[in-house]
Amino acid sequence: MIAVVDYGSGNLHSVTKAFEAIGGEVRIASTAADLEEAERIVLPGVGSFAEGMRNLRQSGLVEALAEQVLVRRKPFLGVCLGMQMLADEGSEDGAHAGLGWIRGRVVAMTPPDRGLKIPHMGWNDVAPSAGAREFFAGLPAKTAFYFAHSYHLIDAAPGSVAATTDYGGAVVAAVRQDNIFATQFHPEKSQHIGLLMLRNFAHWKPAPRPAGGVSA
């Protein structure tokens, strides 16, 4: 069962429908018990970093998410704002602490080319790293996904960057660490390509963490 977290800042309908389209059993999760029953967890998100973190904390689910994802190591997918909130901090509407699951900061996009509009909205090619091939399995070598964001992740640990896109320079498009995978783009809005990625996530079996260390 795939739990889609409801904390008041997520695009629940489109994410739920996308997983249902690939035959997934999906439930909206708003309590710790919902997360306990889930086999996989999805944290969607739209809007500002500050509002998203405030809503997530007010939902009372932060500790439950940490227990299920970081301790019990259930496969986890973050989408758009759901990826950004994994970072150490975000600068949207002031400085705000994130979950701190992924190293890095979320800052405003400032492409050097003034002709590039902000927000970065629309289709853009994504280049996966060698360590993220399992999420892009069955997809064309050059694949475009749908983006809609004005802020992006910087200072990420090199080993956690799962994919990049080019928007006046390299932009982190996805991160991966242990049992955590997250995308800046929207797989649920990326038509059949996005559904293929969600299918890959639904069948993903993260490798066990090496004894005495943390994999990247």
Active site amino acids: 80, 186, 188
The DSSP code sequence of 45-91 is --S-HHHHHHHHHHTT-HHHHHIIIIIS---EEEETHHHHTTSSEE-
Instruction: Outline where DSSP puts E strands in the chain.
Output: 2-5, 26-29, 40-43, 76-79, 89-90, 96-97, 105-108, 120-128, 143-149, 151-154, 161-166, 170-177, 180-183
Read off the tokens for 153.
């992740």
Place of tokens 């997250």: 182
- Helix axis angle for 12-21 and 191-202, nearest 10°, is 80
Determine the residue type at 214.
V
Task: Tell me the C-alpha distance between 99 and 102, whole Å.
Answer: 8
Q: Give the tokens for residue 161.
A: 């960057």
Spatial separation of the C-alpha atoms in residues 13 and 28, rounded to whole Å: 10
β-pair type (40-43, 2-5): parallel
